[in-house]
Structure 1
């Protein structure tokens, strides 16, 4: 089976993890801050807070920005559920902004229209979370302009985006947002086995998130409310969480960061191969914005409306190619429909986008030959489906 995503682990990665296993530190040691520093240097942000998942990073990012009961957070419906769930964890409400039908990313025009309505009703969002689907940046200049105009905070869900850039600024630099979140899940660009990171240029936000990731506890003398009683003394100042990343995970992530540029270059080269191969197929690549450089986490294509996606999906899987679909609109998930009364048709562009998309394999173990094979199988199956449909 050719997987849709796969980690790239080399001997240097293994050696880095073994080194930690043989050290005095397994959980909270020197590798975590070293990993944070490496990601800051690669992205251009001033501060980074490593945690055990991107979901945790989204949660503490919302809390650091003051999201709580009575607040509303908006995000994209075409994303993993964590982009929305993080608001609910804070006791806030969540709502969705329709997507651009071409990119599948949050549509700035739809966002502005929704903001104007919300302003007239006195229900503006506290935070908006655009999602960089596939590693393709959203139109952050337009979204950032709206944030300044309407007074909301921005969290970039860049779980797919490390190594990419927009308008010459690296994703993660927080040039257009308050906080950016990365994921290091095994299928992502860089992996720490499991993990995430929240980046910001605000020392205050970084301090809040660092406190929240570890039970709300601090040992920093400058933050104490009472004089320290000794090296053993600590204070719990907030109700925080056990969201810490271990040194084992950080060692793997730090080792992987040395190959970030190679990973992204390889993915871009494979995307070019896909683009050329798909020119003769009734499927179009979901492309990044022209003023951006994508990390190409996912190779997502839009199928011709006549194609039978379920038939293609099943047939591709039978042929040994693990295609996937990213993502079922979050508000149509049973939990959201039963608890928040979202209905079909709420974000029509998102629903149409979802109905047409298919994710093809994309990872650094693929070769040009494997891409040609995947596309040839897709074309043959699409031709077969079209011929079968034509016979009825």
Structure 2
């Protein structure tokens, strides 16, 4: 009986997970193609950046009118996994895709994983409701949607599967959704690649044996990563809260944010901090003359863009910030430059998203096994040092990071004392910029 039940479960998730992965992979391929076209156009016609305030006004007006049901972004997807809320509106997928592409076209500093996760979640939920599956199966399909979106947009299927489990509850993996998440992430990645998408290739660091002295350097490295992660999280949350309080109407807030980004762009005199910033991210692995302030400028550009309400995610900007920070720290601590950039790239997002395991695996998928054990050490220490905060306020906490008994219930990070309040549930519609 047990074998029959296991075989039935395997067959079900191969089918449902594969279906979710296929739609996620196709959506990610379309998104990455449009994003590449938008980035190329902006780089060839940089004058378009001057119109970012107008773009913010238009995108904000569209979301103020039609975006109320999807204003939670990634937090809406996480809340739905836990609470079984009504179906995630299918409109989330096309609206967040369009909004993110326009954000990058006009020069906003944002990422792409938030868009992929939201598309994956809304498409998976649409399939779950169409197929009339049980609540438990629906939760598995939502986890598959998160994993399929994340894994396919970065070309990291194993990290995508683990991320789909790890991001939902801080410090606990939901193994009951492991199979659908893995199937969806692997299938999504295969579909995206089969449609001609080529992912960024990063330099592969050499092997550095772990010793006591090297370990001491990584601990110092981790403290710096945690500090920058806290600055990013607190800065983005507080800026968004401040703008919401002072400027209630979203289109005006986004126009103001666009104006601020244009001002920063002219101040620094370079386009390196606009959009994804992948060229400078890759440069961090090899260039010992990278400006020491590069990570701080990218942090500021991104906090202003997302804090004002523009759409996109945090992963690629945090990769940029982490790699640039790792470049500086490697020079200061006498670590290999490429290894410092690789560890910083993964560990900063791990600390901000409370996903040290997924990002350690992701680092291996992106740059090879030589990054171990260094990235796991830094990511874990930085994750602990950031406390009970994160870029996704809807994440649930089952147990305090420093240990102790299980909490009486899963507590959203937004409800913890001293944490930034949840700004995803105001009375006026917001763009889903989280993630």
- The TM tier, using the shorter chain, reads under 0.3
Structure showing greater radius of gyration is 1
| Larger helix share, 1 or 2 | 2
* TM-score for the superposition, normalised by structure 1: 0.27
